[in-house]
Structure 1
Amino acid sequence: MSRLLPMLFLLSAFAFSVVAQDATQRSFDNEQQREVYQQLIKELRCPKCQNQNIADSNAPLAEDMRDKSYEMLKAGKSKQEIIDFMVERYGNFVHYKPPFTAATAVLWFGPVVILIIGIGVAVLLTRKKKEQTALTPEERAQLEQLRKNDND
């Protein structure tokens, strides 16, 4: 465990240096373009690396996405236009903040629906047990008779 922490620190420092190096190697017209570029490469997810943004990924696909983002930004495209292009090309997965649609609604409301169904089933099962434990008057009379016989 004591060796793991320094390794993680070095990896995060390396990833930060890759992002910083990428931004310094590219020339921008103004500081706002540089900031938008930094935001873009942190918001866009590498389709190959799963949960890694394109800023931290060394995959060739992430490099291509960084290049395309840079080119589109230099061509005057807005941040949203670049995001829309990437989503159109790679799907909603590529953006860390996917839009709320019917397809993604299942992901948001599915766990709540499953929880409500589970609570409903639990309530039904406990009610059913209560109904099964209720004795009819004849059964109560038999139980009293058995108790009297046991006490004698």
Structure 2
Amino acid sequence: MKRFALILALLASPLWAVEPDEILDDPVLEERARDLSQGLRCPVCQNESIDESNATLARELRILLRERLVAGDTDEQAVDFIVARYGEFVLLRPDTSGANIILWVAAPMMFVIALGIGWTAIRRKKAAPTALSDEEKAELAKILERDAV
């Protein structure tokens, strides 16, 4: 039973695309590189991190990231270097500041506006007509008498 659980755990775990020749000798630097590469998008695959992607460009980005860490860059400096070269598109979770705030706020605001329009439309449909006044009843009676003749 333990073997079956181990096999299931291995099959369920993601397959990393990091190749053995990319792995750093220093385990601390390698762990930092793995953590950072989980937050960087592969420009080719677009929905995978560079750590998961088998694309050539993702491999180059993994190597570049490791080179920057070995050179002594902090995590932020290494990521900033890659973002400067490839743009914010390579971030799996872009910043929520500057012009990006419009993108982060637009969808919820549009949803709230749509709910407001829908609620207003439903309330208007449900509004019951008011009863006729005495003047309107007299006018209606005159119209009906003319049509009956």
TM-score, length basis structure 1? 0.69
Which residue number corresponds to residue 26 of structure 1?
A: 23
Cα distance, 1:120 vs structure 2? 2.3
Which residue number corresponds to residue 100 of structure 1?
A: 96
RMSD: 3.0
Residue 35 of structure 1: SS of its match in structure 2?
helix
Corresponding position: 1:62 with 2:62: no
Counterpart Cα distance in 2 of 1:131 and 1:102 = 44
- 1:80-99 to structure 2, matched below 5 A, reads 80-99=76-95
User: Could you say if the C-alpha distance between residues 37 and 139 of structure 1 is closer, same or farther in structure 2, counting changes exceeding 3 Å?
Assistant: farther
Counterpart of 2:111 in structure 1: which amino acid?
A: L
Cα distance, 1:131 vs structure 2? 6.0
Counterpart Cα distance in 2 of 1:129 and 1:138 = 25
Counterpart of 1:27 in structure 2: which amino acid?
A: L
Counterpart Cα distance in 2 of 1:26 and 1:120 = 54
Cα distance, 1:43 vs structure 2? 1.5
Cα distance, 1:102 vs structure 2? 3.5
Cα distance, 1:137 vs structure 2? 0.8
Counterpart Cα distance in 1 of 2:96 and 2:27 = 32
Counterpart Cα distance in 2 of 1:114 and 1:26 = 45
Residue 89 of structure 1: SS of its match in structure 2?
helix
Which residue number corresponds to residue 147 of structure 2?
A: none
Which residue number corresponds to residue 124 of structure 1?
A: 120
Counterpart Cα distance in 1 of 2:23 and 2:124 = 69
Q: Which segments of 5 or more consecutive residues in structure 2 lack a partner in the other structure?
A: 1-9, 142-149
CA contact (8 A) 2:24 2:66 kept: no
User: Counting helix residues as a fraction of each chain, which structure ranks higher?
Assistant: 1
Q: Which segments of 5 or more consecutive residues in structure 1 lack a partner in the other structure?
A: 1-8, 146-152
Residue 102 of structure 1: SS of its match in structure 2?
coil
- Greater alpha carbon shift after TM alignment, 32-41 vs 133-142: 133-142
Cα distance, 1:56 vs structure 2? 1.1
- 1:107-146 to structure 2, matched below 5 A, reads 107-129=103-125, 133-138=129-134, 141=137
Identical pairs, percent: 31
Which residue number corresponds to residue 35 of structure 1?
A: 31
